[in-house]
Amino acid sequence: MNMALALAACGTAAGDNALALSSQRVLLSAVVRSEHEDASRERIRRLFHSPLGVYVSHASRDHAQLRLEFDVASEDLAFTIRTLSRVLPEADVEDVRPRVFGHRGH
């Protein structure tokens, strides 16, 4: 999913998109591909020093790929996608899905 599609998805009406529910948490998955490991380290540094750093719930590096997961409130999704496109313009949004909290019985 490219950034434009991701932005369009988060701009739909609440009746059209389950992600538009207020106060719901969503997980945004993105990947950045790079030929060089040093470039990947620089991208991680840039990300964590940006306003997005607080939203990162998981980051992993596998050779030429940097995989990221952001945990955001649904109302912050558009901001997250816009900021991601500025901080890491080479990032591709792969998935946006509701975050599901498991209930524990006590």
Inside any domain, residue 103: no
pLDDT at 47 > cutoff 70: yes
Inside any domain, residue 31: yes
* pLDDT tens figures, 61-83: 887 889 999 999 999 999 999 99
Range name among 28-32, 36-40, 59-63 with the lowest pLDDT average = 36-40
Inside any domain, residue 19: no
- Do residues 26 and 72 make contact, with C-beta atoms less than 8 angstroms apart? yes
Tally the domains of the chain: 1
Inside any domain, residue 42: yes
The whole-number pLDDT of residue 64 equals 80
Inside any domain, residue 106: no
Q: In terms of residue numbers, what domain contains 38?
A: 3-10+24-98
Residue 87: partners with Cβ closer than 8 Å, 6 or more residues away: 46, 47, 50, 52
pLDDT at 15 > cutoff 50: no
| CATH number, residue 93 | 3.30.70.240
Inside any domain, residue 58: yes
Percentage of the chain modeled with pLDDT above 90: 51
